[in-house]
Amino acid sequence: MAKTPAQRIKKHGANAAVPQHQLPPVINPTTSRTPQKAQSNSNLIVIAGVVASLFLFWYLHLLTLNQLTQLSGGQAMPDSLVGGFDLGFVEHLRTAMDADARGQLNYVHKTAGMLFPLIFGFTWLLLIGTKVARNSLRWALWSLPLLFAAVRLWGNTVIDEMMSADTLDGGQVALASGLTVAGWVLLALSVVAGVAAVLLGRKAAAASPTPGHVQS
């Protein structure tokens, strides 16, 4: 039977051969989070967000709101009118859409109409944040998708109130129209800001020296 270390020391004294016990090595010590890996993870999230934003835009504006024209006698939904609308248009639209049709529009606003600006805004914040280093410029570009999301959500609420009101109010129509136009303008400006952020990021990456490169 093998002797324990204590028994060997008792029998042989200082000359006892005591086996050395070592802790097992750390498993995979090279899993440190590098800046390159963090950047790669951010890029994957941005790509997924862009794909989701494109899908929701198609689903909301090119599919669902377009299908609702079947419940309005062929008239477009207020959200789709880039140039806005007036009191006469809303009066005709309210006459053509019954309570069920207005409920369908309200449901769209609470689902895809809410998800699109939120996901688009989050994606563009991350895109700009990972590509633009200068703080003041980053905040200036961030303001566009933030304003877009706020204006679009507010516009959805005002349009629903306008469509379901007992008496049509000219001021409410003007507000809904202005928010709709502002939403489309901010969406376009946000897309431009995203493209500018990507170009700035590429320019900064090209200007920075590569690892291991020694400038003469």
Residue ranges of domains in the chain: 43-205
| Helix (H) or strand (E) segment spanning residue 49 | helix 35-57
Q: Residue 214 has what pLDDT?
A: 47
Mean pLDDT of the chain: 86
CA–CA distance, 164 with 158 (Å, rounded to integer): 10
Structure tokens at 170: 């000219």
Q: Is the pLDDT of residue 32 over 70?
A: no
Banded pLDDT at 42 (limits 50, 70, 90): confident
Q: Are 168 and 70 in contact (CB under 8 A)?
A: no
Q: Is the pLDDT of residue 49 over 90?
A: yes
Q: Is the pLDDT of residue 61 over 60?
A: yes
Q: What is the pLDDT of residues 205-215, one digit of tens each?
A: 787 655 555 44
Banded pLDDT at 133 (limits 50, 70, 90): confident
Q: Are 180 and 81 in contact (CB under 8 A)?
A: yes
Each residue of 90-118: b (16+ CB within 10 Å) or e? beebbeebeeebbeebbebbeebbbebbe
Q: What's the Cα-to-Cα distance from 86 to each of 74, 98, 186, 208, 214, rounded to whole Å?
A: 17, 20, 21, 53, 65
In terms of Cα–Cα distance, which of 183, 127, 173, 181 is closest to 152?
183
Q: Is the pLDDT of residue 173 over 90?
A: yes
CA–CA distance, 98 with 178 (Å, rounded to integer): 25
- Angle made by CA atoms 115, 183, 86, in degrees to the nearest 5: 120
Q: Is the pLDDT of residue 91 over 60?
A: yes
* Other beta carbons less than 10 A from residue 135's beta carbon: 8
Q: Is the pLDDT of residue 13 over 70?
A: no
Give the mean model confidence (pLDDT) for residues 101-126.
Answer: 97
Q: Is the pLDDT of residue 30 over 80?
A: no
Q: Residue 8 has what pLDDT?
A: 60
Q: Are 144 and 190 in contact (CB under 8 A)?
A: yes
